[in-house]
Structure 1
Amino acid sequence: WKAFRFFDVAPINLNDADKSILEQGNVSCITASADQVFVGSPDGTLRLLNQSFKTVQSWKAHDSGALTTIRHIPHSSLLITLAEDLPNEPVLKVWALDRPDKKTGIPRCLCTVAVTNGRKPFPVSAFAVLRDLSQVAVGFANGAVTVVRGDFIHDRGTKQRTVLETDEPITGLEFREANVTTLFISTTSRISTLVISGKGQGQPARTLDEHGCAVGCLTKDLHSNDIIVARDDAVYAYNPRGRVASYAYEGPKKLTAMYKDYVLLVSPPKSMANAPTRSFGGGQADDLFSTSNFTILNPDLKLIAHTEALPSQVNALFSAWGQIYIVTLDGKVLRYTEKTFQQKLEVLYQREFFVLAINLAQKEKVDAVQQNLIFRKYGDYLYRKGDFDTAMQQYLRAIDNTEPSQIIRKFLDNQRIRNLIEYLEELHEHHKASSDHTTLLLNCYAKLKDVDKLEDFIKSPGDLKFDLDTAITMCRQGGYSDQAAFLARKHNEHGLVVDILIEDLKRYEEALAYIWRLEPEQAYDSLTKYGTVLLEHSEDTNQLFIDYFTGNFRPKKDAVVEQEVTTEQQQGGIGKMATSAVQNLAALIPLPYMSADVPRTPGGTKTTQQVIETTVEDEYVEYKVPKPRAAFSSFVDHPDEFILFLEACIASSGLQEEDKTDLYTTLFEMYLQIASKKTGDDKTKWESKARKLVEEQNVSNLTSIDLYREHCENARCSWGRRVVQCESSFCSLSLDAARISTISDGTTLVREQRGLYFDIFRSYTAANDTAGAIKALRKYGPEEPQLYPAALAYFTSTEEILSEASSELDSVLKKIDDDGLMAPLQVIQTLSQSKVATMGMVKTYLSRTIERERAEIASNRKLISSYRTDTAAKANEMETLASKPVSFSATRCSACGAPLDLPTVHFLCKHSFHERCLYVGAGDEDSDVECPKCANDNATVKAIKRAQEESADRHELFMDALGRSRDKFATVSEWFGRGVMGKATGVE
């Protein structure tokens, strides 16, 4: 047993009159209810005392005999008294404390019963009563037990029966109420039970233990309903089936009682420890000043909550008002108050009994946060002692309420990598890990070269316990590309799988095979991204392009064959798989396209699903076929494959007209490009292909024409006006110039393809082609907004042009106004330079502009007023905080939510904290400490202020913004509002 002081003791100061009532000779028995103390005297007087132990009421309860027994019925106003006047029979009375007599004012006596003992003059040695007052048991020193049944409250008569007669004196009686009401009977040499009501009633008493106890050493635990027996060797607990627990505690016992889950023990003075009369309840009157020991035990935790030596013997032990009281023979009263749970913890912390603190917290059923705090303190203690493994176990138990960085820093500093791995793994199990934690865990695996653990981590079943992107990135950086590919495939990150196969592992055939098994939309992204690389390293890539862009793509399907593989064959990790493309892919990618493991059998084998590649294609999946032009960039430096791709696309059905133009023109250019690099018959072959394509199809792209012209000039050909003729055999080709298109249309087409929309518009205006200018404005205006200001000037240049474009003028002005392409003043200046423009043309535009400006001015004025009001309010608040006292009414810590206790820190923002919750450094000044709740907002404001002040000297930023702005004055006003033109001040 470990001894602590979990109770504070304080004597109650009594005046001489009150003290004399409790002195030896003036008191025969004492008991208590939840809020009253009852004192019986040898002359039969009953007194009711309050919490100050002052007499509230007294009356003569019995006319003759000493009042030796008092019992209060819990949760009621009923009181039972028993007086003895030998050789007469003891008299039992029932009192109603809430029903005073109208004449005397004393409580009304509801019933009076004389308890029989076969007319044998022996004193009462034990007493028990049921909670409903339906039965009373009285034990006598001659070994007899009498049970009295009846209606004591309404005095409707009672029946008495002697239920037990033994040769040993009765030392204790207790009722145990359940489905069966059992009376526990103790004598000096045994513990027995007797069924009073229920199944088994009428049967003889059954002996539970061949060892008895002294008078006053039997009581009942109200929480467990077990009977507690205190003997010299130990404290025992019994139920009707027998002994249920024993707690060794050596030493004589005189008195026992229960308080919550504590066992209260009073030991007699040493001079009485071996007195033969003690077992019968006797004592030595001349030993008034002999010391007694008072002990409070917590049997479940095996601790002594309090122990002390008393200067006098104990006369009574009871609990009331939530506290324990002891009355000594010399009339002194001691009060014992249990410490709070937190105070108990502090006592245990000081003596480093952390395991006991954990058990105490679990017994008290405190919340998980408080328990985790104890685990954390225990872990810190073990860490200081160098027991890192056990310390880590405590940190793991407190993981839900501990800042991970604090624990991680401890074990990083000591290079306890395995402990650190254990903690980081648990963080992921609790879904509390950040991307940094995942990174650190994977680094730890890599440092220890623990591939097995790495694979177990990434292959862990259930929900994802880590940041996927971080895990994949770290695996790739650490050289574990196979594991990274596994993770990516497991979580359907198909693009990452292809990235890893191509960029990290250089397994181009596997990458192509993987792409061929994806859904069409997923395959498209990877194919366009890595098409050039795959064309360089895999001959089958071009066929994949052709199938996909001709609408014939079907994901490949694999056959799965189950086979048994021994455990030894499966060892060796991901990196030792077979080298073939399909086998490698199967090793690192789950189904469909991997070998999927099932649990091992007891014999050391397990069934695997081995993927066997087949040429069987899956059912057709409908998808949107992209334009062939999207694949053109992938064929750079691969002209032969490109020509095959173009020819296959042209041969396919369902091509749109615009796609046909792209394909024929591009194929035509490729034929010419190949022909220019060849000589002799090869050159003639490719020229024939180009000539045949032109003869059969309309290739009218100016770029192709230029290329064709360049090719002809290089071959020393000459062009005619209507017919293109050439002396060489290739240039015998004749084309109608109308089929090719005019030079003007070609020029426009080139400019359009190059995005030179302004040049197209200017060419129309230079030729005074108003209709063409209007057409160009409508076509290119949405993409080139600056065409509208130019159109405004052009449409108002002459009367002829204005008459043609009058219907377009209003729409041009509206577009300029809606998109803010010109300021109103600029519009007026532009029109003022024209001799044909009138005010009527811009009347609608001007009225709309003026109304908008007025509305904006009104809105700005309201905004200015609002800012002024807010500024004045903030200024008043600052002045109040600086000059007037501030009251703080918070009762709970803003950080932990617990009730505030000293030392407490209050902030002017009305947030209050425990000083320990602020994490203030040892060297921090009070002025450096700021409210954690407001710190983020304050930091944001400070950062904005600092950025504004720093930009005050960055004149190039202001000039750049001014140069790019359409409204110069608005830009100057905005920068002025930021405070960058005022005097720079430091950020407080």
Structure 2
Amino acid sequence: MRLVETELQARLEQLFQKECYDVAKRIVRRLHAADASQQMSIQKKYGDYLVSKGKYAEAIDQYIEAIGFLEPSYVIRIFVNGQHTAELTRYLEELHHTRHGNLANRSHTTLLLNCYIKLRDEARLSEFIHRDDIRFDAHNAIEVCRQAGYYDAAIYLAEKYAQPHDYVIIQLENLHNPKKALAFIRTLCVDDAEAILLEVGKDLAGMEPRACTELLAELCIQWKGPARRLADPARTHRSSPQDYSFRLQQQQQSRPSHRSEAKDFMHVFVDSPVCLLYFLRAVVESGVLDGGGESQRVVYNTLLELYMTRELKQCIRHQVTPEGTEVYTVEPYERRLEQALTFIEAYAGSYDDYHALALAEQQEFEEGVLLLLQRLHLSSDIMQYYAKRLEEGATPAIRRAAREKLIETCRSRLNRDGTVNNNNNTIGGPGAEHSRANSDSSRGRTDESTKELWLSLLSLLVRSPDTEWQDLVQVLQYIEEQDLLSPLSVVEILSTNPRLQLCTVREYALRVMRKDEQRTEAFHGLIDTRLKKLRELHGEIDALQTKATVFQAHKCFHCHAALDLPVVHFMCQHSFHQRCLNDITECNVCAPAHRRLAAEQREAEERHGDPKIFFERLGAAHDADGFSVVAEQFGKCIFAAPQLRKEATLFFGDPMVPGAVSAAGAYGGRSGPAISSDDEDDYDDMRRAAMEDGEEVYDEGGELLRPEAIELW
């Protein structure tokens, strides 16, 4: 008879049939050939066997040894009923041990903590959270402890695992200790403090109004705690390194490192207008928003609105503030209006002007309305505002003040736009005409609005029954000095008041007639001066055409050396070496001035021929001024035939006539060279021969038929 050793698996099956799981486990442990999975399988079967026998304490030991091989949910389903909470707690504690890696998930932690709570074993709960050899989801553990009322444990977890948000929530909602929450927030970096205050800032403002406002002001001006992190943990989701670098660069450029944006926290004070006023004022006065542009305009607009609000409340919802809580005092309405005026002037351009104007009108803030109207240069609206005071039957003092303000408004508009003087233009040459034309076309609209203001002012004063004659005389003096309105328009307006005495307007009429007389005399003097100059020019032309020109220069006007042949003499009495001339047909001294005058004349002709400029000047003129513009245009020969310009032409007339050479040398676009006495005989012979042969020098269009004659000459 021969004994043969049975295989390991057969032996184990026999042991399982006999329920000898303990023996099977020891056999497998002694055999090195057995793998770990086989051993874990035996422990599972052993545990199941013990459960079937009701030995739960022993069974949980087997399941604990099988951690890592056996799915935790399998064990949890067995012990999850309320009768075996202690055994389940042991298993879950071991599951959270670090030697098993990260097998425990959020649900396991929640279940374990609930087991502690069900067992009311606060000591084991505290021991569990204080252990260093376990790993779990801290946020989930904090939530479970909060819901169960174990606030000390929750606070400890929040501090240990750096959960500032949970810490603040527990202090506010569970422990009702806002001061401690505010003190804790001051220790955080900008990112964490910003995130927490965005969520719970409204609750903090309701519990500690002043302390929360000061904390937010510090956060938005210069945070004394740690600076902003380079990357925001809430935004570090899975992405490529390139995308992450790009987002990180954008965050660093868009957000300041040591402060937050005040506009992001305005919703915190939605129920506390007084706190919002103090908060925004502190941020604006600190200067951190200077140069912020459109992005910060909402801050300035809101602060200005709070200044103008008549009834500023501590709390809109009428919540009862706990005793001993520091709150801000509500400043008087008059004081806030003064601050609003200062704000409008100091921070001009930072707020929306028209939004501020609408707020001032809504709150019936008259001084603010007038100040904003002046800033926006809405002189017509200012006139309407004061005109209502004249027409609504106010007291004499108010009407007197309104008249003074009306005159002051028109004068300030006049000083801002410059002196309007369409009728009394500067008398001068073509340059003055060119300047006047440009000025008329560019300031037409400004002159129009200014004249309308003064026209309205004069009409208001004439219609007002209690207008003092001194005011009317003063207005007429301004109108006359600046030529704001035509005399005919003024007389028509004055004639609408039958009670107006002649002595009131007598001085105005005399000054206007005297000024017209002076203007007429000035124009006559200008005409005489120009006629005299014209006669002198004609005399010079005749002298050049009929008399011989003597050249007595001994030095070159270019190099100032003694003249030597070849020499070129010009009719303008300038002589040069031929080598010193830039162009043989142009005088070096006179040519620049001739070119400039020719360019100015060409530009003036183009400008006068442009109908757009003419109609712009005509639209900017009024009454008699329009006739002056039309008369001036006729004086510039708008219906004359266009002149033909010939560039680089040596003569203006017959090239064979010496007088034409003289005229060209003196007044043409180019200075012509003089004819020396040695060449006069050859010149006469050439001209005589051309006339005897009957040859024409010019064609019908005025072009030379024989240019070689000029070259030979």
Q: TM-score, normalised by structure 1?
A: 0.32
- Which has the bigger relative contact order, CA under 8 A and spacing at least 6? 2
Higher strand fraction: Structure 1 or Structure 2? 1
Q: TM-score, normalised by structure 2?
A: 0.43
